């Protein structure tokens, strides 16, 4: 998904009509969805709305959409994961996500100059913690690449586009093969697995390499990169090539080379281990350590896991909580039995149709009538001048 950068070759679809939102302009196009900039009316803010293409919505696509909405809602509390505000179905039947608007990404087409090493280290630690949090929630991202690391309005990095995320619990065994060359691990390229923590470590390392080298690993520094088949062959050999920047320390290159080891077992065992390696590079350079922001196990295990098999069409949530009202309810047709009505008490709503009068009640009513009659007579005499 291209957001904040150059538009794809095809024209974007028509923006949806959404109640409470005002359309502004298109932001990007992708293979399965378009992204538009909207203005939310209440509370007022700019939001990005990701809308599935109408002609590709089937059971599998809808399942992926539901999973993406649920995954992002679960993980949005992490400061380095894109925030989702809402998910529903538009009037024309297209599922959509309302998300935090991020004006840019770390795609090479959006960068005009190389990123400083300190900046890349800061980004790397934050995104590693975001991925570690996702993994603790049993979620594999499966599409880690520079264009999916977005920049917030305050310049911070956030991980977005969980459109092909999968369940870590099942090892993504039943998921389709999905890859973004050249950031995919050799075992993904060879279709030996659809995703593991080890493949995430590889893609993460390849992405950080790209931010430093301004080219993807295993792409040739100059000239043609050859065919897609040749690129896959170079990835399969996994021969690490130096970034070629004098300001990139050897410790950083060593950490990245380990992340992109051909043998999955030789890589870091988790994204948290990657973050520790990157912090050591920061320490060696005398830089402030980027804080580790990782959800604890209690949070990760709380709540039901994301259902990656749910392909039902889900619209806006309707509350089933009854709200008390001060308005009187409908008159009841049944009366309380006479044996349950006490003499001298005010009737309840069941007795309003036929009020029972006791002797005391009749006496009070007759007395009131006499007093009112005397008052009326005196008033007439005063008016006529007889008194």
Question: Residue 11 gets which letter from DSSP?
Answer: P
Per-residue confidence (pLDDT) for residue 254, from 0 to 100? 98
**CATH hierarchy code of domain 102-298:** 1.10.510.10
Per-residue confidence (pLDDT) for residue 339, from 0 to 100? 40
Question: What's the angle, vertex CA 125, arms to CA 240 and CA 98, rounded to 5?
Answer: 110
Delimit the domains of the chain by residue range: 1-101, 102-298
Please list the rounded mean pLDDT of every run of 10 residues in the chain (387 residues).
48 92 93 92 95 84 83 91 93 92 86 90 98 93 94 94 81 61 92 94 97 88 75 90 95 98 97 98 98 84 68 46 38 42 38 41 43 42 40
Per-residue confidence (pLDDT) for residue 82, from 0 to 100? 95
Fold classification of 1-101 is: Phosphorylase Kinase; domain 1 (3.30.200)
Instruction: Record the tokens describing residue 199, joined without a space.
Output: 């493949």
Per-residue confidence (pLDDT) for residue 9, from 0 to 100? 65
Which amino acids are annotated as binding site for ATP, given as ranges?
Answer: 50
Per-residue confidence (pLDDT) for residue 4, from 0 to 100? 42
C-alpha span between 125 and 292 (Å, rounded): 7
Instruction: Record the tokens describing residue 256, joined without a space.
Output: 């990245």
Which amino acids are annotated as binding site, given as ranges?
Answer: 50
Per-residue confidence (pLDDT) for residue 371, from 0 to 100? 43
Diameter of the chain measured on Cα atoms: 124
Cα 269 to chain center, whole Å?
27
Per-residue confidence (pLDDT) for residue 51, from 0 to 100? 94
Instruction: Record the tokens describing residue 251, joined without a space.
Output: 């410790």
DSSP 170-227: TTTTTSPP---TTSS-HHHHTTS-S--HHHHHHHHHHHHHHHHHSS-TTS-SSS----
Per-residue confidence (pLDDT) for residue 99, from 0 to 100? 96
Per-residue confidence (pLDDT) for residue 332, from 0 to 100? 41
Residue carrying structure tokens 């007439």: 380
């Amino acid at each position: 998904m291209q957001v904040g950068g150059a538009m794809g070759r095809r024209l974007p679809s028509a923006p949806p009509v959404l109640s409470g939102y005002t359309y502004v302009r298109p932001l990007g196009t992708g293979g399965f969805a378009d992204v538009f900039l909207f203005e939310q009316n209440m509370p007022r803010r700019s939001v990005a709305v990701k809308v599935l293409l109408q002609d590709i919505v089937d059971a599998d696509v809808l399942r992926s959409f539901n999973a993406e909405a649920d995954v992002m809602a679960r993980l949005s509390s992490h400061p380095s994961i894109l925030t989702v505000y809402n998910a529903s179905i538009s009037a024309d039947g297209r599922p959509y996500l309302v998300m935090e608007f991020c004006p840019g990404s770390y795609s090479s087409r959006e960068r005009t100059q190389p990123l400083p090493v300190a900046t890349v280290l800061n980004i790397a630690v934050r995104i590693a913690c975001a991925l570690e949090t996702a993994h603790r929630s049993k979620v594999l991202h499966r599409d880690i690449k520079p264009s999916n690391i977005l920049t917030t309005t305050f310049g911070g990095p956030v991980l977005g586009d969980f459109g092909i995320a999968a369940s870590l619990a099942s090892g993504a065994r039943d998921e389709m093969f999905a890859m973004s060359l050249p950031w995919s691990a050799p075992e993904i390229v060879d279709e030996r697995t659809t995703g593991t923590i080890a493949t995430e470590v590889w893609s993460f390392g390849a992405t950080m390499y790209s931010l430093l080298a301004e080219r993807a690993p295993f792409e040739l520094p100059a000239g043609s990169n050859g065919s897609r088949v040749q690129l896959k062959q170079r990835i399969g050999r996994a021969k690490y090539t130096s970034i070629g920047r004098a300001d990139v320390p050897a410790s950083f290159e060593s950490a990245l080379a380990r992340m992109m080891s051909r043998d999955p077992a030789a890589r870091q065992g988790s994204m948290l281990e990657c973050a520790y390696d990157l912090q050591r590079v920061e320490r060696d350079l005398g830089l402030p350590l980027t804080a580790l922001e990782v959800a604890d196990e209690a949070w990760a295990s709380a709540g039901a896991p994301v259902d990656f098999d749910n392909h039902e069409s889900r619209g806006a949530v309707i509350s089933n909580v009854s709200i008390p009202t001060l308005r009187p309810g409908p008159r009841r047709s049944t009366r309380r039995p006479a044996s349950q009505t006490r003499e001298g008490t005010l009737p309840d709503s069941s007795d309003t149709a036929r009020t029972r009068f006791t002797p005391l009640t009749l006496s009070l009513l007759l007395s009131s009538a006499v007093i009112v009659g005397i008052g009326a007579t005196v008033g007439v005499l005063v008016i006529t001048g007889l008194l």
